[in-house]
């Protein structure tokens, strides 16, 4: 009888040994359900300081995602500190660049990052594509990566055309711009669905980053005029503080989801639907690029509204910082052909 009891106990323990090593749930009908890839990736990111706010960094701290162009007296130290990864076209790079910069195609940012031990400073035309690349590099395992704020437009007046020519005021008086409405109540949505054969959170994250890099930044952008003229086509997140949402005004119907992170489930306020084009806009298009990169990796159909508030309402009287042509503009730092 004792041998029979031990045998029965052994039979009960065998399934437990096999299932304890798998990530999944055992529903009442007995069918095993694997943990969704999104959940595996999310848990890995939270556990390894890769939540969205960690990727963006804290303003005023060394980890903040942008670095402004230096004062002329600090130029030599600045250039010696960073590996300058200029992701503009080869023609524009050849015409005018920062001395010591390296021209790197966007598609090669991950492999190139592995070749240097220096902190990486990504350079583009306006800072927007560089911010997108910075987020992807940080997610991939290069936390000491930054974007040059305002891009080459902020470095020298001779290379400032991409910002000079893309500020606008179309929101002023536009019927889809509101100065009075409060933000809609945030909703709750399901997690995005990620299709992969991988079952390891880190491997899923790396696979997702590689796919987003391969797609480039262009498909992840939408113009401010498109969003302003047809706000009903998008799920819009105005990434402003509550005070700025009211002071600046906002696109009609825009939500205000700030912050959003994975660890506290605040990200669930973002629409994950398959037909939902999730557009984030900020002041300059640089923060929204960082956030959009993270969201695309997470499986959202996400877009960054290019040039942000500067692109649609540059003359808004509420500006106190980050207004191109106001408190911000090009410096006169050297460029070389």
pLDDT tens for 143-178 read: 999 999 999 999 999 999 999 999 999 999 999 999
Arithmetic mean of pLDDT, 251-263: 96
Number of H helices, E strands in the chain: 13, 13
Q: What share of the chain is helix, strand, coil (3-state, %, to 5)?
A: 40, 15, 45
% pLDDT > 70, the chain: 90
CB atoms within 10 A of CB 13: 10
DSSP string, 94-130: HHSB-TT-EE--GGGHHHHHTT--SPEEEE-SSSHHH
Residue 13: what pLDDT? 41
pLDDT digits (tens, 9 = 90+) for 186-226: 999 999 999 999 999 999 999 999 999 999 999 999 999 99
Alpha-carbon span 106 to 220, nearest angstrom: 14
**pLDDT for 238:** 98
Of 151, 71, 128, nearest in space to 283 by CA: 128
Instruction: Using the predicted structure, report yes or no on whether residue 6 has a pLDDT greater than 90.
Output: no
Residue predicted with more confidence, 15 or 202 = 202
Q: What are the chain's domains?
A: 65-164 (3.40.250.10), 177-313 (3.40.250.10)
- The mean per-residue pLDDT over the stretch 252-267 comes to 96
pLDDT reported for residue 16: 37
Q: According to the model, what pLDDT value does residue 28 have?
A: 44
Cα torsion 47, 127, 129, 174: sign? positive
Q: Within a 10 A sphere around the Cβ of 238, how many other Cβ atoms?
A: 25
Using left for φ > 0, alpha for ψ between -120 and 50, and beta otherwise, residue 65 falls in alpha
pLDDT at 180: 87
Residue 275: which pLDDT band, with cuts at 50, 70 and 90?
confident
pLDDT, average across residues 79-83: 98
* pTM greater than 0.95: no
> What is the average pLDDT value for the chain, to the nearest integer?
92
The distance from CA 145 to its chain's CA centroid, rounded to whole angstroms, is 13
> pLDDT-derived band of residue 284, with 50, 70 and 90 as boundaries?
very high
């Amino acid at each position: 009888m004792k041998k029979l009891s031990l045998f029965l106990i052994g039979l009960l323990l065998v399934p437990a040994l096999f299932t304890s090593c798998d990530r999944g749930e055992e529903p009442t009908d007995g069918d095993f359900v694997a943990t969704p890839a999104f959940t595996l990736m999310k848990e890995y990111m939270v556990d390894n300081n890769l939540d969205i706010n960690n990727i963006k960094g804290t303003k005023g701290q060394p980890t903040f995602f942008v670095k402004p162009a230096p004062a002329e007296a600090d130029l030599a130290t600045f250039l010696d500190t960073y590996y300058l990864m200029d992701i503009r076209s080869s023609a524009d790079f050849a015409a005018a660049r920062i001395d010591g910069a390296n021209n790197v195609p966007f598609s090669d940012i991950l492999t190139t990052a592995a070749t240097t031990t220096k902190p990486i400073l990504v350079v583009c035309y306006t800072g927007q594509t560089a911010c997108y690349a910075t987020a992807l590099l940080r997610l991939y395992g290069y936390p000491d990566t930054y974007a040059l704020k305002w891009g080459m437009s902020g470095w020298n007046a001779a290379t400032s055309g991409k910002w000079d020519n893309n500020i606008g005021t179309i929101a002023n008086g536009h019927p889809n711009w509101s100065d009075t409405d409060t933000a809609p109540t945030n909703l709750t949505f399901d997690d995005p669905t990620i299709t992969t054969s991988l079952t390891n959170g880190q491997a899923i994250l790396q696979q997702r980053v590689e796919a987003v890099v391969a797609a480039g930044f262009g498909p992840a952008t939408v113009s401010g005029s498109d969003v302003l003229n047809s706000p009903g086509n998008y799920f819009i997140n105005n990434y402003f503080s509550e005070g700025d949402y009211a002071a600046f005004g906002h696109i009609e119907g825009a939500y205000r989801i700030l912050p959003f992170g994975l660890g506290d489930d605040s990200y669930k306020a973002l629409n994950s639907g398959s037909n939902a084009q999730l557009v984030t806009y900020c002041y300059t298009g640089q923060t929204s690029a960082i956030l959009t990169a993270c969201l695309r990796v997470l499986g959202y159909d996400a877009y960054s509204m290019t040039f942000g508030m500067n692109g649609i309402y540059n003359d808004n009287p509420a500006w106190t910082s980050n207004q191109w042509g106001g408190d911000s503009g090009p410096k006169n730092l050297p460029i070389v052909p």
